[in-house]
């Protein structure tokens, strides 16, 4: 399914969080959102999984305005793993994963055999089978994150929305998750802080800054030292991964002053 944000703006209490953001992820494409803290990545994702209604503009799945669908209907197409996806009740891991089927269940029916196998498969994929009977509140941050990913998968979505999905994950599970995204065939929109993981994972990257789109394109086009410096206030060296050909950023540990804007950072001045 193709996901389109068409001139989406979000204003809350007089503050503009997103300004006429237009983005597109074609069917099966992985679109990465990158940008500094507070640039609007989570706000854009919230509009997609409908935790937030845009003040102006539309979000479309193929050509259907999401606003014309019920929340339950869109939950059958869109699964989200977000910074709000926590589980406060002490369900077992197996129960939390099974909750992913909720948008598909009617009249309190139990999961059928195919759905139970779907849950087992999602738990195998995310390496949480051994935790099935544990209470989720007793899990480590990374274990809990993997359970929530399994829950999103059993939803059998066509669009997967992920806000910082590698948070808490060790490097093996980061690589496993992002490799899965590359092969799952779903339309994926993912906010990532790690620009190297974003470059390795995403077909296209959209750079946000202060609620506006700065640039969108393939990683090799977007991850230029000048753009990174302008938006993030650090100047990386960009090298090409010897095996995959994706751009990879190397940083020097020069502390940009937090009191200066990126364009005025010491790094910027040293290059003038
Ligand atoms: N409910 C709200 N009311 C007012 N301001 C808000 C609200 N939610 C978010 N913001 C502000 O909107 C801006 C964008 O927030 P958002 O969470 O989308 O940024 P982000 O790019 O995801 O940041 P991060 O990288 O830190 O996760 C921030 O300045 C944030 O403080």
Q: Is there an atom of ligand 1 within 6 Å of 233 CB?
A: no
Same domain, 243 and 144: no
Say how many domains are in the chain.
Answer: 2
Q: What is the pLDDT of residues 170-202, one digit of tens each?
A: 998 899 889 888 888 899 999 999 999 999 999
Q: Does residue 110's CB lie within 6 angstroms of at least one atom of ligand 1?
A: no
Task: Enter the ipTM.
Answer: 0.97
Contact of 99 with 179, CB cutoff 8 Å: no
**One domain for residues 217 and 228:** no
Closest residue by Cα to atom 13, ligand 1, is: 38
Query: Same domain, yes or no, for 167 and 182?
Result: yes
State whether 50 and 142 are in the same domain: yes
Strand duo 159-163 + 15-25: pairing = unpaired
Residues 250 and 234 in one domain: yes
Which tens digit of pLDDT belongs to each residue from 49-73? 999 999 999 999 998 999 999 888 8
214/236 same-domain check: no
pLDDT reported for residue 265: 44
The model's confidence at residue 270, banded by pLDDT at 50, 70 and 90, is very low
Is 213 strand, coil or helix?
strand
Q: What is the model's pLDDT at position 253?
A: 82
Cβ–ligand 1 distance for 155 under 6 Å, the answer no
Q: 117 CA distance to ligand 1 centroid (A)?
A: 38
Cα separation values, 12 from 15, 52, 54, 209, Å = 5, 10, 10, 17
Residues 131 and 242 both lie in one domain: no
Question: Are 247 and 208 found together in one domain?
Answer: no
Q: Cβ distance 271 to 265 under 8 Å?
A: no
46 touches ligand 1 (CB under 6 Å): no
Calculate mean pLDDT across residues 133-147. Answer: 89
Higher pLDDT, residue 100 or 87: 100
Residue 256 reports pLDDT greater than 70: no
Q: Does residue 158 sit in the same domain as residue 250?
A: no
- CATH number at 61 reads 3.40.50.300
Q: Assess whether 103 and 190 both reside in one domain.
A: yes
Q: 144 CA to middle of ligand 1, Å?
A: 24
Residue 140 — φ and ψ, nearest 5°? -75, 165
Report residue 5 CA to chain centroid gap: 15
Last residue of a domain, one of 223, 242, 259: 223
Q: Are 172 and 258 part of one and the same domain?
A: no
Q: State which of 11, 18, 33, 41 you would mutate to test the pocket of ligand 1, scoring each by most atoms of that ligand within 8 A of its C-beta.
A: 41
Query: Domain check: are 163 and 74 in the same one?
Result: yes
- At residue 230, does pLDDT exceed 70? yes
Q: Is the dihedral of CA 72, 77, 82, 86 positive or negative?
A: positive
Structural contact between residues 40 and 21, judged by C-beta atoms closer than 8 angstroms: yes
Query: Which one of 188, 208, 223 terminates a domain?
Result: 223
Residue 16: domain span: 3-223
């Amino acid at each position: 399914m193709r996901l389109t944000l068409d001139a989406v703006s979000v204003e809350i209490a007089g503050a503009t969080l997103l300004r006429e953001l237009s983005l597109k992820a074609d069917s099966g494409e992985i679109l990465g959102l990158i940008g500094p803290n507070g640039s609007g990545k989570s706000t854009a994702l919230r509009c997609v999984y409908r935790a937030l209604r845009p003040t102006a503009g539309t979000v479309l799945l193929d050509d259907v305005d999401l606003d014309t669908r019920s929340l339950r209907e869109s939950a059958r197409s869109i699964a989200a793993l977000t910074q709000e996806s926590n589980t406060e009740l002490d369900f077992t891991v197996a129960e939390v994963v099974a909750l992913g089927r909720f948008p598909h269940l009617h009249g309190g029916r139990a999961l059928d055999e195919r759905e139970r196998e779907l849950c087992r498969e999602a738990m195998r994929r995310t390496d949480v089978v051994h935790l099935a009977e544990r209470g989720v509140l007793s899990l480590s941050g990374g274990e809990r994150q993997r359970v929530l990913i399994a829950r999103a998968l059993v939803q059998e979505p066509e669009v997967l929305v992920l806000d910082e999905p590698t948070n808490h994950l060790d490097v093996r599970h980061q690589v496993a998750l992002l490799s899965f995204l590359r092969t799952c065939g779903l339309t994926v929109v993912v906010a990532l802080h790690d620009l190297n993981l974003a470059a390795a994972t995403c077909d296209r990257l959209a750079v946000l800054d202060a609620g506006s789109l700065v640039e969108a394109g393939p990683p090799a086009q977007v991850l230029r030292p000048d753009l990174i410096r302008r938006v993030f206030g650090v100047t990386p060296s960009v090298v090409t991964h010897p095996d995959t050909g994706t751009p990879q950023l190397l940083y020097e540990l020069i502390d940009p002053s937090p009191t200066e804007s990126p364009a005025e950072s010491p790094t910027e001045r040293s290059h003038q």
